[in-house]
Amino acid sequence: MAKPVKRQDKRRQKDETLPLGKENFMIIGVGIAVIIAGYLALAKGPIEGFLPLVLAPILLVLGYCVIIPLGILYKKSYIKSKNSSQTQSAR
């Protein structure tokens, strides 16, 4: 009769760290500040002024489409330095 195979729990093998680091949260915070500035520019001034018609849409698109995704996708290159230090210590 075949022996039952014990399966290892994959959750235990993963690190218990957050996938986003301090730099990621700082970039996302800058994006949120740019978005807030865009909404404030949208609310200020006359309807046909420079702030609501030109600056506010630029700030909002920059915040939503560039800075926030950059903050999510940014990955520090510490993995390369970590791997190189392990290979040097193995020598």
Residues 19-31 pLDDT 10s: 889 999 999 999 9
Give residues with Cβ within 8 angstroms of 54, minimum separation 6: none
**From its phi and psi, is residue 9 left (phi > 0), alpha (psi between -120 and 50) or beta?**
beta
Residue-wise pLDDT for 29-55, tens only, equals 999 999 999 999 999 888 899 999 999
Cβ contact 24:72 at 8 Å? yes
pTM for the model: 0.67
- pLDDT over 60 (residue 12): no
Residue with tokens 């959750």: 11
**Tokens standing for 18?**
């957050």
